[in-house]
Amino acid sequence: ITTGNTATRTGEGAIPDSFRRAWRASQTKDFAAGDWLVAPFGTGLKTLTPLVSSDAYAAEVQTYVLESLLTRNPKTLQWDGMIAKDWTVSDDGLTITFQMRNGLKFSDGKSMDAEDVAFTFDFLMNEKIAAPRHRAYFAKIRSVRATGKYEVVFQFKEPYFQSLELAGTMPILPEHFYGAYLEQPQTFNQSTGLLMGSGPYRLEDPRGWTPDTGIVELERNPYYWGPVLPPFDTLLWKVIENQTAQLTTFRNGELDLYGARPREYESLLEDQPLMERTQNLEYMSPTAGYRWIGWNQKRSGEPTFFADRRVRQAMTYLTDRKRIVKDIMLGYAEVAMSPFSPRSPQHDDSLQPLEYDIEKARQLLGDAGFKDRDGNGVLEDADGEPFRFELVYFQDDEDTQRVMLFLRDLYARAGVLMIPKPTEWSVMIDLLTQKNFDAITLAWTGGVETDIYQMFHSSQTVPGGDNFINYKNPLLDTVIDKARATVDEDARMPLWHEAERIIYEDQPYTFLMRSQSLVFIDDRMRNVEVTRLGLNKDIVPVEWFVPAALHKYAN
């Protein structure tokens, strides 16, 4: 049996480990509660409702509202107790028992107990709730039972390498708030702002948020149980889809942070007035995600050109990623070659990115039956169908637009006609959901260890799954399943290497790059740090604060 706990150390009283960093910040001489933290969102949000929301911005908001049994320590990467104060894992890894803190309340003042944890699992596993992405992971769990008022037991069906993470990070939903929607699941599925939890912040109206407001505003939770007062009175996000408008808003002092594009970043470093009132950071997050182009292999029930592996390989050979990194990203990125970070033990160091090679691409396309049959410079298949496709991208991302125009010209040299298709974010989400596109470019976030099941397993081509490109490889499925069932890390890593090699050969995505974060932050903000999980802005308990003399907003 392995155990975890939140034992305290001498000199810091009864402060749980998960609050220790925030507590230390609160003990500095210039610490003060108050003021606002104002940040931008680059796209509009469709919904803040947990389980049915699917974008990173909604997840960011939920970080401050919903809590889980465990949280990852940004320094050690080990698990600390949040709602849980102790836990044990059985020798076979199939049973995890959590002891919860008692006396905790949700943001409406109602008490939390183990029944809320059990309810959350039953709720998300209910087929009437539109949460297929969550069910794909939580299907590993046989049951979640409240065995006492503050004791809850997770029983797994089979060994799973992330069992503690899966159980420990499940957001805890209040049964008294969400339980009514079991009788009206469509109301829940179509809602835009049903958000309540036990976290340090809350919506003023947990049922009332709608996307047309253009902002998300959270207030401090007056019932928050934590030993450290959440420092900000208000957390505010403004939806500003145009990046130039974001920069203008930041310059005007109406935002507290701004993520710059490479060309902007180098220019802004020369802006003395801006530099005098900001702090800037450039870093490659240890958990940095990656940008990719996904080649849809089936559309409207029919195979596409990209169903042929040789075509997908050719598209990667035609994508000059080194030049993208050098000329568009100005070196503030690195070429990606797989879903695994080169700094992760999941990555096989013997693999190298495929280099730009137009002749190799032409050969592969020829082998796949594509030739310029009428001399017009565009390849056609055996039926005379020209190799023409649309590549969907988010319309307000200027760097991505530069990449698309660059690739359009590169692909044309090989006789491939790519039509860049700038698209609104809400429309992109609909296209993904319906798998109604030829090719699309997006990004996935990263993690300490990445589970690629949702993106690449054949079972996830179902509606609501994240295998948007209809990619299926039974061998990869087998390897992924084995890796996920292998608890021993030393035995698991060779399986991830094997999975990586299969993806490398199949090229279901053309993996573009991992980008550095280039961030400017208002100098009012204190305790800013880059941790092993990235910037500590979104770490909860909240670590940033503003000294009283620098407060800008008053509630």
Mean pLDDT of the 259-279 span: 96
Q: Rounded CA gap, 459 and 473, in Å?
A: 10
Q: What angle do CA 347, 348, 352 make, to 5 degrees?
A: 105
Q: Rounded CA gap, 492 and 446, in Å?
A: 18
- pLDDT on residue 223: 98
CA distances, 398 to each of 101, 232, 420, 424 (Å): 47, 32, 13, 13
Q: 3-class SS at 215?
A: strand
- pLDDT on residue 350: 96
Residues 6+ away with beta carbon under 8 Å from 417: 378, 386, 387, 388, 389, 411
- Whose CA is closest to 479, among 501, 460, 462? 501
Sorted by where each begins, the domain ranges of the chain are: 19-233+524-550, 290-515
Per-residue pLDDT at 192 exceeds 90: yes
Quote the pTM value: 0.88
Share of the chain above pLDDT 90, in %: 90
CB 513 within 8 A of CB 290: yes
Tell me the β-bridge partners of 105: 111
- Whose CA is closest to 469, among 454, 481, 482? 454
**In this structure, what token pair is assigned to residue 350?**
């013997």
Per-residue pLDDT at 8 exceeds 50: no
Q: Please state which architecture CATH assigns to domain 19-233+524-550.
A: 3-Layer(aba) Sandwich (3.40)
Per-residue pLDDT at 5 exceeds 80: no
Tell me the β-bridge partners of 392: 421, 440
Name the average pLDDT for the chain: 95
Share of the chain above pLDDT 70, in %: 97
What tens digit of pLDDT does each residue of 439-461 get? 999 999 888 899 999 999 999 99
Q: Rounded to the nearest 5°, which phi and psi values hold at 404?
A: -65, -45
- pLDDT on residue 4: 61
- pLDDT on residue 133: 85
- pLDDT on residue 183: 94
**In this structure, what token pair is assigned to residue 301?**
């029930």
Tell me the β-bridge partners of 290: 444
How many CB atoms are closer than 10 A to CB 534? 20
- pLDDT on residue 3: 57
Mean pLDDT of the 113-131 span: 97
| Yes or no: domain 290-515 corresponds to CATH 3.10.105.10 | yes
Mean pLDDT of the 472-485 span: 98
Q: Rounded CA gap, 360 and 504, in Å?
A: 16
Residues 6+ away with beta carbon under 8 Å from 65: 107, 195, 196, 197, 199, 201, 202, 203, 218
Mean pLDDT of the 485-497 span: 96
What tens digit of pLDDT does each residue of 527-553 get? 999 999 999 998 999 999 999 999 999
Q: Rounded CA gap, 477 and 460, in Å?
A: 10
What tens digit of pLDDT does each residue of 10-49 get? 345 579 999 999 999 999 999 999 999 999 999 889 999 9
Q: Kindly indicate the confidence band of residue 287, based on its pLDDT and cuts at 50, 70 and 90.
A: confident
Q: Rounded CA gap, 36 and 136, in Å?
A: 37
Per-residue pLDDT at 9 exceeds 70: no
**In this structure, what token pair is assigned to residue 437?**
């596109």
CB 366 within 8 A of CB 211: no
- pLDDT on residue 288: 85
CB 113 within 8 A of CB 100: yes
CB 43 within 8 A of CB 423: no
CB 485 within 8 A of CB 159: yes
**Angle between helical axes of 474-484 and 489-506 (0-180°, round to 10):** 160
**Angle between helical axes of 309-317 and 358-367 (0-180°, round to 10):** 170
Q: Kindly indicate the confidence band of residue 136, based on its pLDDT and cuts at 50, 70 and 90.
A: confident
Burial of 291 per CB tally in 10 Å (0-12, 13-18, 19+): buried
- pLDDT on residue 7: 35
Mean pLDDT of the 274-293 span: 92
- pLDDT on residue 6: 41
